[in-house]
Amino acid sequence: MLQQAHRAHIERLLAFAQQPGAAEGTIERSWLRCFNDYGLDPSRPVPAYIVEAQRLREHKDQIEDFLGVARTGMEQLYKRVSALDCVLLLTDAHGVTVDFIGNDHRDHELKRAGLYLGADWSEPRAGTCAVGTCIVEQAPVTCHQTDHFDVSHITLTCNSAPLFDPTGGFLGVLDVSALSAPAPREGQHLALQMTTMYAQMIEDANFLRYFRDQWILRLGSTWSLVDVDSEIMVAFDADGVIRGINSGGRRRLRLADAAEGHGGKPLDLRGHLLTEVFREDMSELWRIAHAGMSSERTAVRTHDHGLYYATAIAPRGAPGRPSAPGAQPALPSAEASAALDALGAGDPQMQRLILQAKRLANKPLNILVHGETGTGKEVLAKALHAASERRGKSFVAVNCAAIPESLIESELFGYSPGTFTGARSKGMRGLIAQSDGGTLFLDEIGDMPLHLQSRLLRVLSEREVMPLGAEKPIPVDLRVIAASHRDLRQLIAEQCFREDLYYRLCGATLHLPALRERRDKDYLIARIAAEEGRQLDMRAELAPATLALLRAYTWQGNVRQLRNVLRFALAMSDNGFIDTDALPPEILEGTQENPAEAAPAATRPLPGNEREVLLAALRRNKWRITQVAVQLGIARATVYRQMERYGIVAPNQQ
Ligand SMILES: Nc1ncnc2c1ncn2[C@@H]1O[C@H](COP(=O)(O)OP(=O)(O)OP(=O)(O)O)[C@@H](O)[C@H]1O
């Protein structure tokens, strides 16, 4: 019987392939793609494919912060549809099932059918199916029995609705599927409606969470329902600029000058003013916003004659109105900001940076610090911590490039007892939890693996950390200062760094100048020489010729290299008096090769020349890594990492 049905299905598809006609329907369009784009053959069925555990984990990590929100919606939906003997699938944008609610009694059957965690329902792999076709069409789809392309799936009935993220990107699919269902297709109408409705609810819950630090205008066409069922949500900032808009809003709202002839295509309204969409002026819109959830709902009109009832939600922590001028956190006291003041003296770039850092010290913002290696990014992060009200709590520094990739996760997030066997079975508080109340400094953030970037993003947005193997997250109050000498925007373009994490991290950006650009070298030389002298319990005094050589050097390893050179010179000196012959040879050579005292900055090596500088140092030092590290003032591990990054291989390794 089944054999016969299979044969009939294959023949029907082959006949379609011969004469596809206009292929106007969603299902027919997908069949055509199966033949023409994916080269699928209906006479060669492909059983359901479940991705392996590691890959599933990677897929989950990509949308980890969304999974919690979606789960709540799925559980609600399941209560309503479980009587229909169906299962729920949540897939990511690639069609891989990242969450699932099913029926334990039919576990084996469901797994075989692909109605299971990890099942890959992308159209190129599974052929026409609700999830895969919904991904391509980005619209709700019912795929009922023989709508499926592959005969392995023709007993299934599936309803899928797309899910979009708060910025309008495609996020995944919510799907309600059954192993069997009554034959008439019309019976699926209600299931598709429910799936679409819950997809919208999940999207909106995610939107509210994502924009909880912004004002949100909620609009509905029914006065009495606007608080509980707002069809449209618009997130906006204190300047009245639109920051985000939910799917309902993308479908219905237009700009004033796009009111005619936009062809019904959703426009991206982000970055536009509310007043470009609504006829009310900003003071009226603020009046509505401040009325909040009170009963004072007010009608607003759009430029294209739409009429909506409006209410608003204030940003988290806001007292219901934009903060009054003067309510800014106070600047740190002179005592607290001493560490910031000590960072430089008399260099205009540093002066600007110190002033900015003082203003930022007590702001609830994460900070991104840029600067070449050794410019003092960690020193700046520590000074910011010391100047802030967090100074009584821990400052925890993590070098993402120095910890082996396999350990970063457990080091950062920690693990609960019993997660690992042996000596570590007691569990460990991760570095994130250790910096609760204080500052977490993430150095070389650009080297953090992508799947951990997702987890970090979740920590930053949820303000809680989930140790490995734990069942409950731990709340954390965190300020993150991240640093990188790599161009994070470039890494985003290369898809090696998450853009959303970048925006979470760069509440403000501080740029540390390279030592060769600084005009306060004398101050740094004197200060570091004195510090190093104290370490060795000797006074440190520099001969005028020594000072001249140090001023003239180009300092590829920046302040770190300067400190290393002074430490070396002190050890070589005659009781703390540093004459030129106490200096390491590269300082003398570097200045001879490059009498750069007056060389304009543009002719000196720039960060972009990092590969050349490294290669030259390797050749000069006959590929002895320790010497190169000392000379450039960087760690040995950094030399190896940079060699790998730039594809430099030592001659004896080739
Ligand atoms: N303003 C400063 N005053 C005194 N010492 C400094 C200063 N800035 C940096 N240093 C010294 O330079 C060395 C490197 O500093 P730091 O580790 O903060 O640099 P970094 O930019 O974070 O380096 P990397 O990019 O390799 O992580 C340290 O020994 C530090 O003490």
Give the pLDDT score at 450: 86
For 450-476, write each residue's pLDDT tens digit.
888 988 888 888 888 888 888 888 899
What is the per-residue pLDDT for 154? Answer: 92
Residue owning tokens 């003082």 = 358
- Distance, CA of 555 to CA of 521 (rounded, Å): 11
Q: Which helix (H) or strand (E) holds 160?
A: strand 157-164
Q: Among all chains, which residue has been given the structure tokens 């996020």?
A: 171
Fold classification of 520-653 is Helicase, Ruva Protein; domain 3 (1.10.8)
- What residue type is assigned to position 349 of the chain? Q
Residue that has been written with the tokens 């290696």 in this structure: 373
**Domain positions in the chain:** 5-208, 211-313, 338-511, 520-653
**What's the pLDDT tens digit per position in 396-454?**
999 888 777 777 788 888 888 766 655 456 678 889 999 999 999 999 999 888 888 98
Ligand 1 proximal residues by C-beta, below 6 Å = 343, 371, 373-379, 443, 483, 485, 524, 528, 559-560, 563, 634
For 261, left (φ over 0), alpha (ψ -120 to 50), or beta? left
**211-313: CATH number:** 3.30.450
The pLDDT of residue 212: 86
Q: Give 569 Cα–ligand 1 centroid separation in angstroms.
A: 19
Percent of the chain with pLDDT over 90: 37
Question: What residues contact 460, with CB distance under 8 A and at least 6 apart?
Answer: 366, 478, 480, 501, 504, 505
Q: Which of 429, 430, 438 is nearest to 479 (CA)?
A: 438
Position in ligand 1 atom list of the atom nearest CA 562: 12
d(CA 597, CA 357): 31
What's the 3-state SS for 406-419? HHHHHHHHEECCCC
For the chain, what is the mean pLDDT?
84
Q: Which of 488, 505, 466, 502 is nearest to 381 (CA)?
A: 505
* Tokens encoding 593: 């090769």
- For 641, phi then psi, to 5°, come to -65, -45
pLDDT tens figures, 141-171 = 999 999 999 999 999 999 999 999 888 889 9
Supply the pLDDT for residue 229: 64
Higher pLDDT, 29 or 450: 29
Q: Tell me the mean pLDDT in the region 610-614.
A: 78
Model pLDDT, residue 119: 95
Q: Using most ligand atoms within 8 A of CB, pick from 369, 370, 375 the residue to mutate for ligand 1.
A: 375
The answer to whether 137 and 160 have CB atoms below 8 angstroms apart is no
| Predicted confidence (pLDDT) per residue in 224-261, tens digit | 665 656 689 999 887 788 888 998 888 888 877 654 44
Strands (E), 485-583: 508-511, 541-542, 577-578
Tokens matching residue 293: 């959830």
353-386 residues labelled b (16+ CB within 10 A) or e (exposed): bbebbbebbbeeebbbbbbbbbbbbbebbbbbbb
Could you tell me whether strands 242-245 and 232-236 are parallel, antiparallel, or unpaired per DSSP bridges? antiparallel
Do 566 and 528 form a contact (C-beta atoms < 8 A)?
yes
429 vs 307: CA distance, rounded Å? 54
Q: Do 436 and 476 meet the contact criterion of CB atoms below 8 Å apart?
A: yes
Q: 549: part of which helix (H) or strand (E)?
A: helix 544-552
| 429 SS3 class | strand
Cα 559 to middle of ligand 1, angstroms:
6
Lookup: tokens for 649: 């291989």
Which amino acid is located at 271 in the chain? G
Query: Which of 341, 351, 379 should be mutated for ligand 1, with most atoms under 8 A from CB?
Result: 379
Q: Which atom of ligand 1 is nearest to the CA of 378?
A: 18
All residues at 6 or more sequence positions from 608 whose CB lies less than 8 Å from its CB, including other chains: none
Residue nearest to atom 8 of ligand 1 (CA): 376
Say if residues 300 and 308 touch (Cβ distance below 8 Å).
yes
Q: What is the pLDDT of residues 197-226, one digit of tens each?
A: 999 999 999 998 888 888 899 888 776 665
> 3-class secondary structure for 367-420?
EEEECCCCCCHHHHHHHHHHHCHHHHCCEEEEECCCCCHHHHHHHHHEECCCCC
Q: What is the largest CA-CA distance in the chain?
A: 99
CA–centroid distance, residue 557 to ligand 1 (Å): 10
Concatenating the DSSP letter of every residue in 169-202 gives: -EEEEEEEEES---S-GGGGHHHHHHHHHHHHHH
Do residues 328 and 244 touch, judged by C-beta distance below 8 A?
Answer: no
Torsion of CA 478, 73, 502, 452, to 10 degrees: 70
Encode pLDDT of 350-381 as tens digits: 988 998 899 889 888 899 999 988 999 999 99
Are the C-beta atoms of residues 371 and 512 closer than 8 Å to each other?
Answer: yes
> 354 C-alpha vs ligand 1 centroid, how far in Å?
15
CA–CA separation, 237 vs 232, rounded Å?
Answer: 17
User: What whole-number distance in Å separates Cα of residue 308 and Cα of residue 226?
Assistant: 9
Of the pLDDT bands very low, low, confident and very high (cuts 50, 70, 90), residue 654 is low
Q: Is a pLDDT exceeding 70 seen at residue 54?
A: yes
* C-alpha of residue 380 to centroid of ligand 1, in Å: 8
- Say which residue, 593 or 618, is predicted with more confidence: 618
Whether 5-208 shares its CATH topology with 211-313 is answered: yes
- Looking at residue 419, its pLDDT comes to 64
Contact 302, 309 (CB under 8 A): no
As a 3-state breakdown, the chain gives helix, strand, coil percent values, each rounded to 5, of 50, 15, 35
**What per-residue confidence (pLDDT) applies to 257?**
64
The residue type found at 272 is H
CA 323 – ligand 1 centroid, Å: 37
Ligand 1 centre from 573 Cα, in Å? 24
The superfamily CATH assigns to domain 5-208 is: GAF domain (3.30.450.40)
What confidence tens digit (pLDDT) does each residue in 169-192 have?
899 999 999 988 777 777 788 889
pLDDT for position 320: 40
- Grouping H, G, I as helix, E, B as strand and the rest as coil, residue 299 is strand
Residue nearest to atom 3 of ligand 1 (CA): 343
CA of 348 from ligand 1 middle (Å) equals 19
List the one residue out of 201, 270, 202 whose CA is nearest residue 235: 270
Q: What is the mean pLDDT of residues 581-605?
A: 53
Calculate what percentage of the chain has a pLDDT beyond 70.
88
Structure tokens that stand for 642 in this block: 């940079």
| Helix 450-462 × helix 53-62 angle, to 10° | 40
Which residue, judged by its Cα, is nearest atom 2 of ligand 1? 343
pLDDT computed for residue 325 by the predictor: 36
Of residues 630 and 434, more confidence is placed in 434
Q: Which of 263, 234, 227 is nearest to 248 (CA)?
A: 234
- What CATH superfamily classification does 338-511 receive? P-loop containing nucleotide triphosphate hydrolases (3.40.50.300)
SS3 484: strand
Protein residue whose Cα sits closest to atom 24 of ligand 1: 373
Angle in degrees, CA 491, 492, 498, rounded to 5: 115
pLDDT of 600 strictly over 70: no
Residue nearest to atom 12 of ligand 1 (CA): 560
Where does the pLDDT of residue 547 fall: very low under 50, low under 70, confident under 90, or very high at 90 and above? very high
Pairing label, strands 464-465, 414-415: unpaired
Q: Which residues contact 256 (CB under 8 A, 6 or more apart)?
A: 276, 277, 303
Residue 415, phi then psi, degrees to nearest 5: -150, 155
DSSP secondary structure code for residue 647 in this structure: T
489, two tokens: 């925007």
Find the 374 Cα to ligand 1 centroid distance in Å: 5
| Position 638 pLDDT exceeds 60 | yes
Of 207, 210, 195, 153, whose CA–CA distance to 9 is shortest? Answer: 153
Q: Say whether pLDDT at 97 is over 90.
A: yes
The DSSP code for 331 is P
Q: Which two tokens stand for residue 557?
A: 């390893």
